Amino acid sequence: MINSIILSYTTFIYFAAFFLYLLCMVMGRTGFGRLATLATLVGLIAQSLAIVLRWIESYQLGIGHAPFSNLYESLIFFTWTIIFLYMIVEWRTKNRTLGTFVTPLAFLAMAYASFSPGISSKIQPLVPALKSNWLISHVITCFFGYAAFGLSFALSIMYLLKQRDTPEKKNLFLRLIPEQSILDELNYQMIVIGFLMLTLGIITGSVWAHSAWGSYWSWDPKETWSLITWLIYASMIHSRMVRGWKGRKIAYLSFIGFCCVLFTYFGVNYLAGLHSYAK
C-alpha cells in the first residue's frame, strides 16, 4: 500500500513546514518562509498523488470507490482541503504568518490518521448505504467547509494574540502578525466560505439521506450537530450587524464554532450513534 507510506511521510513534511513557518516568524527571515511554502507545496503534491493512487488501488482491488469512505480517508482529505485552502490564501494575501497556525492542524490530523492504533488505513469495500453519487459531493462540500472554519479558527487565534502587541513590546512574532482589521476581514471571508460549503454539505447529506433512508432529516446526532454548527456560524454572520460585535467577539464565536465542527466530526461517535455505517 504505497499510498499509506507516502501519506505517513507527508505527516513529517507538514511538521517540517510548521517548523519553518515558525522559524520565519521568530527570526524574521523570509528565507525560512520560502522554504516553508516549498515544503507545504511538496506535502500537498505528495498527498494529492497518494489520494489518486489510493483511488486507483481501490479499483485494482475490485471494490473501486472514491477515497472518502472511512475515518482514515476522511482525515486525509480534511488535511488536504485545509492545506489546499491555506495555499490559496497565502498566494492571494502574500502573507505567510497564517501558516504557523494552520500547519499544526494539518500535521495533527495526519498524525492522528497515520499513527493512531484505532484507525485502519486499509481500503475497505463500501456498504450499500454509502454507494451513492451523493457521497462525493457530500464529503467534498463538508470538508471544504470544515477547512474554511479551521482557517477562521487559526485567524481568530492570531487576532487574539495580536491584541497583546503594543509598540513598546519588541516582539517580532507578534509584530509580524497582520493588522487586526485585516485579520477580521479575512476571518469573515473564511466564515462566509465555510458557511456556504457547510450549507451545501448539509443539503447534499439531506438529499442523500432521503434517497437512502427515506427521510431528509431525522435528528440523528451527527445531523443535529452539523445543524448546531450551522446555527452558530449563522449567528456569527448576523452578529456583525449588531453594533460593536466585530473583532474579539467574532474571534471567540469562531472558537466555539470550530469546537462544534470538531464535535460534529469526532465527538458524535461517543453519543448514541445512529450515523455509524458499521452497523
Partner 1 sequence: MKRQFSKSRPVIWAFFSSVKLTVALLIILAMASVVGTLIPQTEGVAEFAKGLSPAVRKLFVFFDLFDVYHSLWFRILMGALTLNIVICSLDRFQGTWKRFTARPRPDREKPFQDIPGEQTFVIDSPPADMAERVHDYLAAKYRKMRAKEVGTEGYFYAERGGYSLFGVYLVHMSVLCILVGGLVGSFLGFEAYVNIVEGESVNTVVSRKERSPIELGFEVRCDNFTVDFYENGTPKEYRTEVTFSADGKRMKQEAIRVNHPAVFQGVTFYQSNYGTVPGNTVHLSISSQGGGPGARHMKVEPGKPYSLPGGEGTFSITDLRTNIMDIGPAAMVSVKPEHGQGIRFWVFKYQDRAKKILPGPMLNSPKFNASAFEPYTFTLAGLDTRYYTGLQANKDPGVPVVWIGFFLMVAGLFVTFFISHRRIWVKVSQQAQGLVVSVAGTSNKNPVGLQREVNTLTLSLKNLLQGDRQV
> Which residues contact ligand HEM (rule: CB under 6 A)?
234, 237-238, 241
Q: What residue 224 binds from partner 1, ligand HEM, none (CB within 5 to 8 A, per partner kind)?
A: partner 1
Which of 241, 272 has the CB closer to ligand HEM? 241
* End-to-end Cα spacing for the chain: 27
Which of 23, 227 has the CB closer to ligand HEM? 227
How many angstroms separate the CA atoms of 137 and 157, rounded?
Answer: 30
C-beta separation of 268 from 222 below 8 A: yes
Residue 197 C-beta: closest distance to partner 1, Å: 10
Which of 241, 278 has the CB closer to ligand HEM? 241
Q: What residue 215 binds from ligand HEM, partner 1, none (CB within 5 to 8 A, per partner kind)?
A: partner 1
- Quote the cell numbers at residue 151: 482557517
Neighbours of 188 (CB within 10 A): 18
- The residues near 165 (Cβ < 8 Å, ≥ 6 apart) are 171, 174, 175, 177
Which of 166, 241 has the CB closer to partner 1? 241
> Which residues form the interface with partner 1 (CB under 8 A)?
63, 124-125, 127-129, 131-132, 192-193, 195-196, 199-200, 203, 206-208, 210-217, 219, 221, 224-225, 227-228, 231-232, 234-235, 238-239, 241-242, 268, 271-272
Cell 431528509, located at residue: 216
Q: What residue 29 binds from ligand HEM, partner 1, none (CB within 5 to 8 A, per partner kind)?
A: none
How many angstroms separate the CA atoms of 10 and 40, rounded?
Answer: 9
Task: Kindly tell me the sign of the dihedral angle through the C-alpha atoms of 13, 15, 21, 27.
Answer: negative
